[in-house]
Structure 1
Amino acid sequence: MSAEQGTRTATAHHVVILGAGYAGMAAAIQLAARTGRHGAVRVTVVNAQERFTERLRLHMTATGQQLAEFAIPEMLAGTGARFMRGWVTAVDADARTVRIDDVRLLRYDTLVYALGGTADTSAVPGVEDHAYTLNSAQDAELLADRLVRLGSGTVVVGGSGLTGVESAAEIAERHPQLNVVLLGRQEPAAAMNPRVKAYVGAALDRLGVTVRSGVEVAKVLPDTVELAGGELVAADAVLWTSGTRVSPLAAAAGLVVDERGRIVTDAALRSVSHPEVYAVGDAAAIRQGYGVMHGTCQGGMPTGVHAALSIDRVLKGKQPKAFRFGYYHTPVSLGRGDAVVQFTHPDDSPRRICLTGRAAVRYKETVTASPWPTYGRMKKMPASGAFWPRGGRFTRA
């Protein structure tokens, strides 16, 4: 590195992005594409592993299906963004520092906090010790190995939300010799319109999934799930999909958080207590006209893009714009050959319009395909515009 380059690096505005999931990668690539090449801005992405996790497809990984693997450094190649592998162990929002693996200290001028949510394994006794999760590809692979070794027996999926439904259907289809039991407080697809709800129920029945709604898991034991009331359900393996939690690091850093530990943001996605910190994806409590957004890839990637645009505007001496987002659809796979797509109002309430069967499969595979092509287009975007992922739309900065 020349002396001139070293001076430019030392004085460059340093943006640190914590987390390289859908939202974090969108922020990193969008920001680096706009600012990273001219040297005035440095972008560093911190993540615990080099492998990019396609969370939308982890239920496939959990049944032994081989998916393409993407390395985060390769995805960032050509953008100018730097990758740092390590666990974020502390954030000091007042000193503007991040501690990595308890040994390295990273200073920032602007922080993008994108540490996503994970399955909540603390709310029910025994889940942490005896249940599998879909928190990472490695976790999903552990379950896949267990299912292969089982041969026969009972797999209990705890949680009847969409992740639980997709996982139960996938396991039942790929391992028809297993007895799959889906447990949850609500019926599967309870928030969808009656036609979709009935279709999901019929698909699970066709696949041989035993659905028990209106129940609550009280404890998970090595080979049993205990329900509230004392009933025992035999389980050779338990997959836990009920509820999510976020990292406690934001609260510990002194950032204002909501009751779930998510960073409370202003309209531009900045922390209300520390405006040099932007929060995106599952880590953020982002209020829209219809309420606070819930964590999905559908909303996560746009938050990452908007944070990048906001940072770019601030660095140019402009005011950031307010973030506006409305939901559009809820795609749900029911094995490899079946699916439903519930189209929604912007507040995520269901419309009457839906797709089922092969048409839904084609639609879902298109909209939940690997984000790699989307990120590739972000790298090549014109300087005057920004790619808005998953919607095929462009917005101006």
Structure 2
Amino acid sequence: MNDILVIGAGYTGMMAAHGIAHRNRDARVTILNPTDRFTERLRQHQVAAGQELGYHRISAIVAPAGIRFVEGRAAAVDTAARKVALDDGRELHYDLLVYAIGSSTPKVKGAFTIDDPALAERLRGRPDGVLTVSGAGLTGIEAATEIAEAYPEMRVRLLSRGEPGSMMGPKARAYLMGALARLGVEVRTGVTVTEVHDDAVVLDNGERLPTDTTLWTTGVRVAPLAAEAGLAVDDAGRVLVDAGLRSVSHPEVFAIGDAAAIRQDYGVIHGTCQSGIPSAAHAAESVTRVLQGKAPKPFRFGYIHQPVSLGRKDAVIQFTNHDDTPSRWYLKGKAAIAYKEAVSGSPLKFYRSRRAIPARMTGRTGGRRNPVPA
């Protein structure tokens, strides 16, 4: 019996583990994660604003599929012996390994990150204070609008080098900027935070801005585990994979989601749930083909949208071309809210399904409902 080990139980790791288990009843599938709680990463901005989400235990989600859950943190991967050492001294053997550790926002002294559980408590204690959000990517925008809506007396400031929504078409971007203005979010562009203090941030132009809380949403950090194990990685530390999502240096290792440098005809995929889940579903099929003595098929992925929550009462969806450039179409308001909620809530439904998860989840198969022409 083959031992399949999945490291990381985020969206991608959970998708891969379930896909493998459903397709290979004679394989032992194990998923390793530091905690037993499944984190809904797409909804972290809601948690920051003080909203309570459901508590989902990984062990309970994977048990019906016959997947073994191990709570622990991977400390090292021994590719020669095909085992993973945990930081408490335990070891897990594998025949095939799925590397799904993902990425995170770098920790900056004096600032919170969106996944810090202490952030919500901090904001509740200062409902009329000043929040400074560094970085106007999707995480920064969603956090700023969610918190501004939840705490209308709070002064929310969004700082960024570029313009919020710069990846969107002009009309969707204008709608986004209108929502920021409506919620009273102060937007400052062309600036970078260089220092974070307890009571202020310092900009690259020397300006000092008073603040009660700083939220850091810019930058991406990949765990060094793959590089330390001797896997071929790119400059960012992501595992270099072939068309079938196998490590180019260690074919017994598959890498998916943010942890992998997945190249398509338009370039290397940037890490999002939108691309991570399809890569996980494809990896499950690729693992199955390897167990059957077949070669994996090439992975093909195209983007379809850029969904952005603007609090609980508004949203905007920019539909895209396959290379993530904006198309003519977008959704706004109630239609966008419904669309975004469906997208954010879908993974758990797949994990709990007793059917095999389809591998061809490239993002180009769904229709567009009620788009607004740009």
TM, length-normalised to structure 1: 0.90
Identity of aligned residues (%): 52
Aligned-partner Cα distance in 1 for 2:61–2:362: 18
Structure 2 residue aligned with 1:133: 113
Change (3 A) 1:102 1:77: closer
Match runs of 1:119-158 below 5 Å: 119-121=105-107, 127=108, 129-135=109-115, 139=116, 141-158=117-134
SS of 2:157 mapped into structure 1: strand
Q: List, as ranges, runs of 4+ consecutive aligned residues in structure 1 with deviation greater than 4 Å.
A: 387-394
Give deviations 1:43-98, integer Å, cap 9, x for gaps: 11000000001000000011111111211111112211100000111112222111
Kept in 1: contact 2:8–2:102 (CA 8 A): yes
Please report how far the alpha carbon of residue 370 of structure 1 lies from its aligned counterpart in structure 2 after TM superposition: 4.6
1:283 to 259, 272, 278: 259
Give deviations 1:120-143, integer Å, cap 9, x for gaps: 22xxxxx2x2111123xxx1x311
RMSD over aligned Cα atoms: 1.5
Give deviations 1:279-312, integer Å, cap 9, x for gaps: 0010000000000000111111111111110010
One-letter code aligned to 2:76: A
Change (3 A) 1:390 1:178: farther
Aligned-partner Cα distance in 1 for 2:44–2:239: 26
Kept in 2: contact 1:166–1:333 (CA 8 A): yes
Please report how far the alpha carbon of residue 376 of structure 1 lies from its aligned counterpart in structure 2 after TM superposition: 2.4
Kept in 2: contact 1:155–1:235 (CA 8 A): yes
Aligned-partner Cα distance in 1 for 2:203–2:265: 38
Aligned-partner Cα distance in 2 for 1:228–1:392: 41
Give deviations 1:339-380, integer Å, cap 9, x for gaps: 000000000000010011111111111122152112223x22
SS of 2:300 mapped into structure 1: coil
Kept in 2: contact 1:116–1:283 (CA 8 A): yes
One-letter code aligned to 1:132: F
Please report how far the alpha carbon of residue 102 of structure 1 lies from its aligned counterpart in structure 2 after TM superposition: 4.1
TM, length-normalised to structure 2: 0.95
Kept in 1: contact 2:303–2:363 (CA 8 A): no
Kept in 1: contact 2:192–2:203 (CA 8 A): yes
Kept in 2: contact 1:182–1:211 (CA 8 A): yes
1:386 to 358, 366, 369: 358
Structure 1 window deviating more from structure 2 (110-119 vs 88-97): it is: 88-97
Match runs of 1:69-218 below 5 Å: 69-121=55-107, 127=108, 129-135=109-115, 139=116, 141-218=117-194
Please report how far the alpha carbon of residue 105 of structure 1 lies from its aligned counterpart in structure 2 after TM superposition: 1.4
Give deviations 1:27-48, integer Å, cap 9, x for gaps: 000100111x3x3x11110000
Change (3 A) 1:392 1:328: closer
Structure 1 residue aligned with 2:202: 226
Structure 2 residue aligned with 1:304: 280
Aligned-partner Cα distance in 2 for 1:303–1:390: 8
Q: 5+ unaligned residues in a row in structure 2: which ranges?
A: 367-374
2:296 to 315, 320, 332: 320
Structure 1 residue aligned with 2:319: 343
SS of 2:215 mapped into structure 1: strand
- Paired positions, count: 366
